[in-house]
Amino acid sequence: MRRVFPLNDSGIRLGQSLLSICDNNHCAALLLNILLSHVETTAAEGDDPWIPLTQQALVDAMLHLFSDDKIRTSTRFLEQKGSSGTRRSKPDYPWDHTKAYTVHIAAMQQALDRREEA
């Protein structure tokens, strides 16, 4: 599994790095953290896996700290920055509105490297 952060990073440093990548957007940083935890458990080497999650699952994973609208806005923000992507989980089933999310680890690493160089 490719890692964005060294294994010995503390939770506090990881949070600071995610906040830095997300321009201090706490909702986006928490969303990335949740997606990264899913990726670590499901990804094979070199893959950017797609993780199906409902909007309610994201709200629950974020402990209801952020509203649906804030989570949607943060999702779009991360897509614009190139850190994550979304698509329909099952495009062949028009009634299924579940989204699948992925994390673009290489883009996150580049963003982190640029921040550390500055």
The pLDDT-based confidence of 116 (bands split at 50, 70, 90) is confident
Domain annotation covers residue 6: no
Residue 1 has pLDDT above 60, yes or no: no
Domain annotation covers residue 1: no
In this predicted model, what pLDDT tens digit does every residue of 46-69 receive, in sequence order? 555 888 899 999 999 999 999 999
CATH of the domain at 92: 1.10.10
Note the pLDDT of residue 115: 77
Note the pLDDT of residue 57: 93
The pLDDT-based confidence of 31 (bands split at 50, 70, 90) is very high
**CA–CA separation, 115 and 72 (whole Å):** 25
Residue 76 has pLDDT above 80, yes or no: yes
Range name among 7-16, 32-41, 59-68, 84-93 with the lowest pLDDT average: 7-16
Question: What is the residue type of 20?
Answer: S
> Is 63 within 8 Å of 35 (Cβ atoms)?
no
Q: Which residue segment(s) compose the domain that 97 sits in?
A: 11-117
Three-state DSSP at 45 gives: coil
Domain annotation covers residue 54: yes
Higher pLDDT, 1 or 72: 72
Q: Token pair of 47, please?
A: 């893959």
Three-state DSSP at 21 gives: helix
Total domains in the chain come to 1
Domain annotation covers residue 3: no
